[in-house]
Amino acid sequence: MDKWTFPTQIYAGSDSLNRLTEFNNESILIICDPFLKDSPSLTYVMGLMDNKNEVSIYTDVVPDPPISHVAKGIEYMQGIKPSIIIAIGGGSCIDMSKGIAYFGRKLKHMNIKSFIAIPTTSGTGSEVTSFAVLTDSETKIKYPLVDDAVLPDEALLTPLFVKTSPPGVTAYSGMDVLVHALEAYVATAANNFTDALAQQAIELVFEYLPKCHKTTATDQDRMSMHEASCLAGLSFNKAGLGIVHAMAHQLGGQFHVPHGLANSMLLPYVIAFNCSHNPEVAKKYADLSAKLGFASYESSEEKKLGAFLEAIIKLQRTLECPMTLTDFGIDKATAEEKLNLMADRALEDMCYRFNPYPANRNDLIKLYRNVL
Ligand SMILES: NC(=O)c1ccc[n+]([C@@H]2O[C@H](COP(=O)([O-])OP(=O)(O)OC[C@H]3O[C@@H](n4cnc5c(N)ncnc54)[C@H](O)[C@@H]3O)[C@@H](O)[C@H]2O)c1
Ligand SMILES: [Fe+2]
C-alpha cells in the first residue's frame, strides 16, 4: 500500500498574500532573503499585517545555508518566541527557515502554530518538500535534512517577488525545476501520480521559462513558472530525484556553483547515460519527446531522444547558462583534483539511490569530466 498526502496548504495567485491579513495578536517572525531588506515588496507585506501583531524581521540568510546559520537563527528565534514563522525568499532562505522552525518545534518553551513559506524563486519547490538542504561549511558537504516535520504548513505562491529576479537567478532556478521534474519522471519511486505532476511541470518550463528570462515577462508567465516549480516539488518529494542532484550537490558544496546551474550542466549527460543503461528510461523520455512535440510519434526512439536532448541544450543556450565549470570560471585543474572526492560523496548522497540505474564511482567520474 502506498500512502501519499500533500500536507501543505497552497494559496496561489496575485492575491494569495491576503492570507497574511488573517493573523492578529500573533508574534510573527519573518525570515527574509537579504534582497528584500528595505524593499517596497517587504513594506507591502508589512502593510498587510494587522498592527496588533508583533512582527520581527531576520535577514541573516546566505545561499547554500550553513548549519551554523541555522543555529544562529534558532538563538534569535528563542528571544522572539514566535507563534508564526514566515519564510520569504529563495530555496536557501526557505531551507534555513525549515531548519529553524523544525528545531523550534522541538523546544518545549516554544509554540509555533504555523510555518509559512513564500518562495521568491521559481526553482526548488522547497515550499512543498520534506527536505531542507543544509551545508556543513567545514566538510563542504550538503546534507538534506529529510523529515515530513520540515514541511511548511502553508505555501503562498505569488508572482510579486519573482518579478525582481535577475535573469541569472531566473535561468538557474528555472533549470532546477526542469531537473526536478525530469529526474522525478524516471526515478525509482515514480508512479502515475508523480508522472502527471512532473509532465505538467516539464511542459510549463519549456513554454514559460524562456519568457520569464526576458524583461517582457508578464505576471502570468511568472505565475506559470511558479506553479511549475511547485508541481515539480510535489512530484520529486514522492518520486525521488537521481544522480544529477547527487552530483550537483557536490559542485555546490565544493565550489558554490549555483544549485540550478550545477544541475543544468550535468543534465544532458546524465539523461544520455541513464537512457543507455535502462531501456525503460529511454522509452519514457522518447515518448515524452514526442508528446512535447520535439519529434514526430513515427520517428525512431533514437531520433526522439536526440530531439529531446537538443531541446534541452537549446533552452540552456537561450538562458545563457554556462555549460562547463570552466565557462563558469572554475579552474579545470582545481576541479579535477576534487573528482574522486565528489564521486565518493555523490554515491552517499540520498538522491543517488533514486536514480534508475546504479551508476558506479567510475561512471560518476566520467560524467563529471564532461562538465570540467
Ligand atoms: N528543499 C528542497 O526541496 C530543495 C530542492 C532543491 C534545491 N534546494 C536548495 O535550495 C538552494 C537554492 O535555492 P534557489 O535556487 O532558490 O536560490 P537561492 O535561494 O540560493 O537564491 C539565489 C540568490 O538569488 C537571490 N534571490 C532570490 N530570489 C530573488 C528575487 N526574487 N529577486 C532577486 N534576487 C533573488 C538570493 O538572495 C540569492 O542571492 C540550494 O541550497 C539547494 O540545494 C532545496
Ligand atoms: Fe534541485
Mean per-residue pLDDT, 185-208? 98
Q: In the 8-state DSSP scheme, what is residue 18?
A: G
Residue in this structure with the C-alpha cell 536557501, named with its chain if needed = 92
pLDDT at 306 (0 to 100)? 98
213 HSE (CA, 13 A, CB side): 19
Q: Could you tell me how far CA 187 lies from the centroid of its own chain?
A: 16
134 HSE (CA, 13 A, CB side): 19
Mean per-residue pLDDT, 310-327? 98
Class of domain 9-162: alpha beta
pLDDT at 79 (0 to 100)? 95
pLDDT at 16 (0 to 100)? 97
pLDDT at 144 (0 to 100)? 85
The answer to whether 172 and 320 are in contact (CB under 8 A) is no
pLDDT at 2 (0 to 100)? 79
pLDDT at 140 (0 to 100)? 86
Cell numbers at 305, concatenated: 531522444
259 in contact with ligand 1, CB cutoff 6 A: yes
90 in contact with ligand 1, CB cutoff 6 A: yes
pLDDT tier at 300, thresholds 50, 70, 90: very high
167-369: in CATH 1.20.1090.10: yes
The answer to whether 295 and 304 are in contact (CB under 8 A) is yes
> Average model confidence (pLDDT) for the chain?
96
* pLDDT beyond 90 at 28: yes
CA of 82 relative to ligand 2 center, distance in Å: 29
Q: What is the pLDDT of residues 238-266, one digit of tens each?
A: 999 999 999 999 999 999 999 999 999 99
pLDDT at 143 (0 to 100)? 85
Cell numbers at 325, concatenated: 565549470
Q: DSSP string covering 279-322, please?
A: HHHHHHHHHHHHHTTSS-TTS-HHHHHHHHHHHHHHHHHHTT--
pLDDT tier at 324, thresholds 50, 70, 90: very high
pLDDT at 5 (0 to 100)? 86
Integer Cα distance of 331 and 75 in angstroms: 38
Integer Cα distance of 218 and 370 in angstroms: 36
173 in contact with ligand 1, CB cutoff 6 A: yes
171 in contact with ligand 1, CB cutoff 6 A: no
pLDDT at 252 (0 to 100)? 94
Ligand nearest to the CA of 170: 1
pLDDT at 108 (0 to 100)? 85
The answer to whether 73 and 104 are in contact (CB under 8 A) is no
Q: In the 8-state DSSP scheme, what is residue 16?
A: G
Mean per-residue pLDDT, 21-33? 97
CA of 211 relative to ligand 2 center, distance in Å: 21
Q: What is the pLDDT of residues 107-158, one digit of tens each?
A: 988 999 999 999 999 999 999 999 999 999 898 888 889 999 999 999 999 9
34 in contact with ligand 1, CB cutoff 6 A: yes
* pLDDT beyond 90 at 1: no
Ligand nearest to the CA of 250: 1
3-state secondary structure of 352: helix
pLDDT at 14 (0 to 100)? 92
pLDDT at 181 (0 to 100)? 98
3-state secondary structure of 55: strand
Please choose, from the candidates 79, 73, 75, 66, the residue with its C-alpha nearest in 3D space to the C-alpha of residue 31.
73
164 in contact with ligand 1, CB cutoff 6 A: yes
* pLDDT beyond 90 at 3: no
Mean per-residue pLDDT, 2-15? 92
> What proportion of the chain, given as a percentage, has pLDDT over 70?
100
* pLDDT beyond 90 at 97: yes
165 in contact with ligand 1, CB cutoff 6 A: yes
Q: Is 34 exposed, middle or buried (0-12, 13-18, 19+ CB in 10 A)?
A: middle
- The domain spans of the chain are 9-162, 167-369
pLDDT tier at 307, thresholds 50, 70, 90: very high
Mutate to test the pocket of ligand 1, among 8, 59, 95 (most ligand atoms within 8 A of CB): 95
Mean per-residue pLDDT, 349-368? 98
pLDDT at 209 (0 to 100)? 98
